[in-house]
Amino acid sequence: MLPTRTFLPFSPDYAFAAAQVVTISGVTYQPGDAIPKGAISERRLRQLYELRRIAPHAPDFLFNGPASPAPTAPEPDEPAAAPPADDAIAADDAPPPPARSRRQRTVA
């Protein structure tokens, strides 16, 4: 089942931004661009909102990602141990044989 997202009920008082690329009155808005009030009728505004083409305006960092770069993992002080040689693996550590279906089983 796909996850569902909940949206606020529509209100023409919200400040809206494009959620997808959308063209309104010949102007193309990219995701995150603010839609000016009065650029579109309330009826069309509601239709675009219900189609999820526009959404209530959110701060820029929600559309543009974090303001600072993500931290990097620290360098390890010691190099990792070398994996054991194939001869060193005990028989108990060996993976079990693959399961066989009924049709593949043989009667002894």
Q: Please indicate, yes or no, if residue 40 is contained in any of the structural domains.
A: yes
Q: Averaging pLDDT over each range in 27-31, 75-79, 83-87, 90-94, which range is the top one?
A: 27-31
Extract the tokens encoding 24: 């309104």
Judge whether 72 lies within some domain.
no
Enter the tokens of residue 41: 């009728």
CA dihedral 98, 102, 106, 108 (to 10 degrees): 100
Give a yes or no: residue 26 inside a domain. Answer: yes
- Give per-residue pLDDT as tens, 10-54: 888 888 999 999 998 899 999 989 999 888 899 999 999 999 999
Close Cβ partners of 29 (under 8 Å, ≥ 6 residues apart): 17, 18, 21, 22, 23, 35
Total domain count, the chain: 1
Cα Rg of the chain, angstroms: 29
Continuous segment of H or E residues that includes residue 64: helix 60-64
